[in-house]
Amino acid sequence: MATESNDVVTQLLQQQLAKHLNVAALSVFLFDYCLTFSSEVHHVWGRKWETTRIVFTISRYLPFIASAMTCYNVLYSHKCGAYIFILDALYDCCIISAEVILILRTYALWGRNRWVLAILAVLAVAFIAAAIGSATTIDFSLPGDSDSPYSFYPSSCAYRTSRSAAFQYIFLMVYEIILQSMNTWRKFRTYRNVQSQTLHTLYWDGIMYMFWVILLSAVNMAVMVTAPLASIASMDTAQVAIHGLLASRIFFNLRDCDERIHHARTESSDMTLVPLHYRSHGSTSQSPAEGSGS
């Protein structure tokens, strides 16, 4: 009897930790939004509502709704119904919109090559289908799950909320690794002889952000596979909020580098960045990185 009571207390403490981590992730997201708000005003406000801005706006602001709903669900809910299905839809839209930002960055660095964009789009659709398929066909659980006093989501409630959903993050990580590999190959194959601080900043800042995006997905997958049931939801808010946060920073990084190429002519070597096809349209400086991948 005492052992059962101790198990219940342990589960409650694990559940409390999951709640704190979700609230912390939301706080980090809100704090970073305040830090980068001036960048959004400078690089986004006042520009035309083209594809890039629409995707950015979705990836920037939809996580506010999804993160708040995720936190509420972790703190007060855990019930099946319309709420969890709407939350899943918003959650997935946030991840996809953030990935589109990463796709557009790769598209920009590859000189707006439509074949590259088409291949990445086909791969994205295939990986999404595979991720959904894996969630419906793979049934994974740990031996102690059935004896746990903590009741998590019913298996039929939502595919994202079981341990089996962790395998979806494999497809997400592989896709992000493909994007980063393409960017690395492009940098060292096409721009290896270009001595430009702007290009250096564009590439290495992107590397840093992509590293954290991939690491976030890896940690979330590890938590869902190995953690006790009460702790599975620990990274739910972080996955959607930090994913959007890093995608926004990659977006601002591209905009800032593009602006420096157009306006900061102190680097004579920037004039050699012809393969990037930077050019102006009308009165607003714009480039492939800005018009398609920024």
Over residues 216-220, mean pLDDT: 89
Global pTM reads 0.78
Report helix, strand or coil for 265: coil
pLDDT one-digit tens code per residue, 133-190: 887 787 776 666 665 555 444 444 543 446 777 888 889 999 999 999 998 888 888 7
* CA–CA dist 144, 122 (Å, integer): 40
Residue ranges of domains in the chain: 2-293
Q: Is 190 helix (H, G, I), strand (E, B) or coil?
A: helix
> What distance, in Å, lies between the first and last C-alpha atoms of the chain?
60
pLDDT tens, 13-70? 888 888 899 999 999 999 999 999 999 999 899 888 888 889 999 999 999 999 998 8
Dihedral sign for Cα 275, 36, 89, 175, please: positive
CATH 2.60.40 is right for the domain spanning 2-293? no
Supply the Cα-derived Rg of the chain in whole angstroms.
21
**Tell me, what's the pLDDT at 276?**
40
Whether 229 and 162 have beta carbons less than 8 Å apart is answered as no
Decide which of 124 and 8 is more confident.
124
Spell out the long-range contacts of 266-269 with Cβ–Cβ below 8 A and sequence spacing 24 or more.
267/196, 267/197, 267/198, 269/194, 269/195, 269/196
